[in-house]
Amino acid sequence: MENFNTHAAFLRRFTATLLTLMLVLAAGCSSLRLAYNNGDTVLYWWLNAYVDLDRDQKGWVREDIDQLFDWHRKTQLRDYVEILRKGQRQLQGNVTKEDLLADYDEVKHRTQTLLLKAAPELADLARSLKPEQIAQMEKKFKSNNDDYRKKYLSGDQEKRQQLRYKKSMEQFELWFGSFSSEQEAAIRKASDARPLDNEIWLDERQRRQRNVLNLVQKVQREKLDKDATVALINALIKDSFARLDQSERKAFFDSFEESTANLVLTVIKLATPTQKAHAVKRMQGWIDDFNSLAAQPQ
């Protein structure tokens, strides 16, 4: 529950065509099917770390998560197959920056759809929270922010650029395999061309956290019913996405988005046929996994 805009940490990693898949693989599982089939448990323990669910909450929160995954499996995974097939075609064709930006918008739309679908269940949780659980959430936010500062706000600009480049390369190597030193130099140049201001990302992170805390405190203080709570959550989700296009930082966000698309395009353009075949094969493995998951009996 760090924020309802959970796409943010991943929207800057690789072409948006594939980012939804990375959410699944973020836990480090080598098998997408294994990761997905355990996703409900991972989500439960993630929520529990933020609010320390009590005995009464644990049962129905697990049921809500199970129902969300059931909906996702039945209605979304076939679409992910089409996204991956589109990614395969793009790699084998003449992909443009405009294509990648359109992919980015597609993932934002799908992520927002998922979050809005979860709004009624999030409302139940928000209405059930006790003061000590809200305090636990605030404490967890602070701990996460301290970790962020240590990792991303330490050292000079060169160190921060190197860290960001390294994280990007981990994703690119996952897809394409190893790169030559000449390729790495070109990727590093495109990586460093992106605007770097980790203070802005921390401030945005804290803004979302404050919004979440204000929401749950308002729900408790005013004893809002479920419909009113759902309306607040929906507004918060939509505001989180709209902020990228309608805030005082729009120029920064736009510049980052375009330069990240240029970075991805650089990698695709310099990739050898063997490297592209590696990426296409990896996508095919995930296509097979998603088809298998979608067909799995409930």
In a domain, 214, yes or no: yes
Decide if 8 is inside a domain: no
pLDDT at 111: 83
- Ramachandran sector of residue 44 (left: φ over 0; alpha: ψ -120 to 50; beta: rest): alpha
| Contact by Cβ (8 Å): 230, 123 | yes
CA distance 11 to 213: 24
Q: How far apart are CA 239 and CA 244, in angstroms?
A: 9
Looking at residue 112, its pLDDT comes to 87
The band of 276, judged by pLDDT with boundaries at 50, 70 and 90, is very high
Q: Which one is predicted more confidently, 248 or 7?
A: 248
Q: What is the pLDDT of residue 31?
A: 64
Residue 197 tokens read as: 């201001």
pLDDT interval class at 39 (50, 70, 90): confident
Question: Contact at 8 Å (CB) between 107 and 19?
Answer: yes
* pLDDT level of residue 244 (50, 70, 90 thresholds): confident
- At 228, the pLDDT band (50, 70, 90 cuts) reads very high
Whether 232 and 218 have beta carbons less than 8 Å apart is answered as: yes
The whole-angstrom separation of Cα 298 and Cα 232 is 32
For the cut 80, the answer to whether the pLDDT of residue 3 exceeds it is no
pTM (2 d.p.): 0.84
Asked if the model's pLDDT at residue 221 lies above 70, the reply is: yes
Residue type, 144: N
89 or 9: which leads in pLDDT = 89
CA–CA gap between residue 200 and residue 249 (Å, rounded) = 9
Print the domain residue range for 221: 16-295
User: Exposure of 139 by Cβ count < 10 A (0-12 exposed, 13-18 middle, 19+ buried)?
Assistant: exposed
Within a domain: residue 198?
yes
> How many domains does the chain fold into?
1
Asked whether residue 184 carries a pLDDT value surpassing 90, the answer given is yes
Q: What is the spatial distance between Cα 48 and Cα 106, in angstroms, rounded to a whole number? A: 30
Q: 204: left (phi > 0), else alpha (psi -120 to 50), else beta?
A: alpha
Rg over CA atoms, the chain:
20
| Residue 161 falls inside a structural domain | yes
Distance, CA of 21 to chain centre: 9
| 10: in domain | no
Rounded to a whole number, what is the largest CA-CA distance in the chain?
Answer: 61
Residue 2 banded pLDDT, cuts 50, 70, 90? very low
| pLDDT value for 104 | 85
User: Which residue, among 268, 199, 217, has the nearest Cα to 17 in the 3D structure?
Assistant: 268
Mean pLDDT, the chain, whole residue set: 87
206-218 average pLDDT score: 95
- Work out the average pLDDT over 202-212: 95
Measuring CA to CA, how many Å separate 24 from each of 42, 53, 119, 290?
Answer: 10, 24, 20, 11
pLDDT band at 186 (very low <50, low <70, confident <90, very high): very high
Range 33-57 average pLDDT: 89
Average pLDDT in the 164-181 region?
A: 94
**Spatial CB neighbours of 211, under 8 Å, sequence gap ≥ 6:** 3, 236, 239, 240
Q: Evaluate if residue 161 carries a pLDDT over 90.
A: yes
Spell out a b/e string for 6-39, using b for 16 or more CB atoms within 10 Å of the CB, else e. Answer: ebbbbbbbbbbbbbbbebbbeeebeebbebbeeb
With contact defined as beta carbons under 8 Å apart, do 15 and 87 qualify? yes
